[in-house]
Amino acid sequence: MRKSLLILLFSIFAIVSLSANADWNPENPFPFSHSLSEAEARVEIEREFVETEPPAGPVRPIAEWEPMKAVMIRYPLGIPVDFIAKMSEYTPVICIVTTSQESAAASTFSNGGVNMDNVSYMNYPTDTYWCRDYAPWFVAYGDEEIGVCNFKYNRPRPDDDDIPKLYAEEQDIEWFGMNLEQTGGNYMTDGYNQAVCTDLVLEENEELTTDEINQKMEDYLGVTNFHITTDPLGDYIKHVDCWGKYLDVDKIIISRVPESHYLFDEYEQVADYFANVTSSYGTPMQVFRCDIPGDYQATPFTNSLILNGKVFIPVTGTSYDDAAIAVYENAMPGYEIIRVNPGPKSWLNTDALHCRTHELADDEMLYIGHMPTNEAPANKPITIEAEFIAYSDTTLVEDKLSIFYSIEGGEFTEAPMIHVENNTYTATIPAQAPQTKVAYYIHGEDNAGKTANHPYIGSPDPHTFSIGDVGVDENTLCLGKLGNNYPNPFNPETTINYSIADSNEITEITVYNIKGQLVKQLVNSKLNSGKHSVIWNGTDNNNKNVTSGIYFYKMRNGSYVESKKMILMK
């Protein structure tokens, strides 16, 4: 008992001492390193953490490229002032700074050309400038709400750890406490139902099983497909953003070292893993590679920031810069790609621009939920469905809800989205001949002045699909094919027909809602080749009845992936 008391007293003393050292002073404005200091490593994180009930479902994680109301930074700065000036031209900047240092921060910004009309302050102490690691994560949940997910920060830095709750309270939005030790640099999400962390999440939560970790990610963030990978960089930090980054729902960028490098196999293993991942769109993940030397030359290109249609890339003046910019331009057409040179605090391979900033979700955004069409039958009108959610609680501008489609690379034609029920709208693309290439994007506006496209960037990088062959009866179930469900619309249940070509591969049949969130897994096993069917009774994975509306069912068998729609009517 005495020994335990001594350990507790030491821990409290160490945390208090560390916190005291974090108070800014001119002699030592940066008392901490990105990694754990020797003193911190001896401190168990025993501070109180409030775990709340999870958000009301359905829950969806919000991705970096979605509409953002502001970007968070901290003063004293870890980023160059001219970079802040560029962001402030079009996005509000929220700076965390103590009251005593606010005037110094304002002077720095004003002298650096920052748009001061776009700067506001949160007057709280912080321990470090690594906002990415401790700032809030955002979720859309329940009855069209956006909230903050707070997690147990994996550093004994209590001032940093308080920021998510403080931000939520200042913005008057709900926060939810997820008792999972985590860090923002080791969390990437696609904005639908997938996320990736390195196996650091297992090391730091060793008291939990992998299933328990997965359950927390699903309950609090809506992540039903959680990728836990190795860390190819093999460095102290083990953060995803040091070597990889989601660029869109179906795109990821991963660094690549020379074949002669001792970590070459580790990087290729991670790249191969994601090349075999099915995106939330039901299509293969597109993997973009960014060459780096993998040594002392700082080339932290994946440590970039996506912010409201712009991508800020940290560059360091190496011969690799231009090639990295070209990769981003190829992967993200329509985005403005902006180089950011290091300031007084130089970029490192393990610590750059992404680590030192954090985008803050627009809790009044206009959101378009849509599962892209991957294939359509020939000579039949093509129906496109989408869900429009105005988180501002205003109404939609009905004559500004449209689909824009292009045939064989021609000009985009606009067609109206027609209200079906609740938040669901449909539009029709005219029937097309077989093998025709179709591109489209969806656009919407609400009466709060918010606009949205799906995909986010709109016409420069639209959804695309091909029209099927003539003579194929869509009601005929060919070997290795997903068939139709019957009845459709249905209530209370429907039968999904499908057939298996490859009995050596696991077959998955899953149901998703219009937002792309997993509703129900119906099949997940190896099956004999031939015809099969499965019944969906309109319940989710918790056997709760789902609401009426449009749903998608998806089949995967080896490399074959296809999805179709169905309508539940009550």
- Positions marked catalytic: 355
Q: Is 222 helix (H, G, I), strand (E, B) or coil?
A: coil
Neighbours of 121 (CB within 10 A): 17
Q: Report the C-alpha gap between 390 and 94 in whole angstroms.
A: 24
The DSSP code sequence of 407-434 is: ETT---EEEE-EEEETTEEEEEEPP--T
Query: Which strand ranges, in their side-by-side order, compose the sheet holding 560-568?
Result: 518-526, 506-513, 549-557, 560-568
Residue in the structure block whose two tokens are 């009251």:
99
* Vertex 246: Cα angle to 219 and 196 (nearest 5): 40
Phi, then psi, of 24 in degrees rounded to 5: -70, 135
Q: How many Cα atoms are found within 13 Å in the side-chain-facing hemisphere of 345? A: 21
Report the b/e string of 532-557 with b at 16+ CB within 10 A. beeebebebeeeeebebbbbbbbbbb
* Vertex 309: Cα angle to 303 and 314 (nearest 5): 25
C-alpha distances (whole Å) from 27 to each of 17, 34, 76, 127, 343 are 17, 19, 12, 15, 19
DSSP-assigned letter for residue 36: P
Nearest to 203 by CA among 170, 232, 239: 239
The DSSP code sequence of 140-179 is: EETTTEEEEEEEEESSS-HHHHTHHHHHHHHHT--EEEEE
Rounded to a whole number of angstroms, the distance between the first and last alpha carbons of the chain is 62
Contact in structure between 532 and 475 (CB atoms under 8 Å): no
Neighbours of 512 (CB within 10 A): 22
